[in-house]
Amino acid sequence: MFENLYDAMSLIFSRWWPIASGAITAVDIEEIRLDEGSYSRLAVAYKFSVGNDGPYTGESFWRSSMSFDEEGRLASAKRRLNDGQSVLVRYRPDDPSVNRLDRTVWQGF
């Protein structure tokens, strides 16, 4: 349990983690249903290697900050990301299995 908490908390500092080149393996729009309603988000799966180690995999999410035309914005973002497309991945130096897409991937959405 402590390890999961450490992994989650360490994501706060991911901006300063090393960067590796990766590739998108899937892009989907997911609908998340909650008791108080639902929302949609873009899910991007990717893979990367660190030197000779890997491949590692990960999944990052993007949600439109604008409530109007959320579906349109998500569909537009999905069209801009393709399987095999190169992306930058931030990874925790002591455990690359803890990773996320670099924030530059989301710029312009």
Q: Domain residue spans in the chain?
A: 2-106
Find tokens 């455990």 and name the residue.
95
Q: What is the pLDDT of residue 51?
A: 92
Q: Are 40 and 29 in contact (CB under 8 A)?
A: yes
Question: Which tens digits make up the pLDDT trace of 51-73?
Answer: 999 899 999 999 877 666 677 88
2-106 in CATH: which number? Answer: 2.40.50
Q: Is 38 helix (H, G, I), strand (E, B) or coil?
A: strand
* Longest CA span, the chain: 46
Task: Count other Cβ atoms within 10 Å, centred on residue 28.
Answer: 11
Q: Are 75 and 32 in contact (CB under 8 A)?
A: no
pTM: 0.83
Q: Is 97 helix (H, G, I), strand (E, B) or coil?
A: strand
